[in-house]
Amino acid sequence: MRLYLFAICTLLFGCDSESTISENIAMKQEQISTDILSVVKKYLNENKGWEDDDYTVHIVTDGDELKVFEIMHRSDIDSIKVGGGQSVELHYDVKKNKIVRELGYQ
């Protein structure tokens, strides 16, 4: 059983024998640093007027110079409307430490 779990852990998370599945899942969930997340939240609050519980943040691209986030507004989650709604894609420049582009979905 232990060998089976190790094999699954290695395939899914690329972990070694000293890592645990829960440690690797925690690393995946913490991909967005709190500093970057605060920049995203500040941008959305100042430019959209959104509160923290109005949206969810998902990382799309985790590059060294540019990080791309999908911002899903709660009104778009169960929406049957055609079009992009209020949700946006934000581009974060690591060197400038700011949002450099906002794209609306179509």
| Length of the chain, in residues | 106
Q: Contact at 8 Å (CB) between 60 and 89? A: yes
pLDDT at residue 8, as a whole number: 53
CATH number of 34-104: 3.30.200
At 14-70, the pLDDT tens digits run 544 444 444 443 334 356 899 999 999 999 999 999 999 999 999 999 999 999 999
Instruction: With a cut of 90, say whether residue 1 has pLDDT above it.
Output: no
Torsion sign over Cα 12, 18, 21, 24 = negative
| Two structure tokens written together for 92 | 């974060």
Residue 32 DSSP symbol: S
pLDDT at residue 68, as a whole number: 96
Mean pLDDT of 83-102: 94
pLDDT at residue 86, as a whole number: 92
pLDDT category of residue 78 using cuts at 50, 70 and 90: confident
Parse the chain into domains and list their residue ranges.
1-30, 34-104
| Residue among 102, 59, 61 nearest 84 (CA) | 102
Read off the pTM. 0.68
CA distance 103 to 16: 39
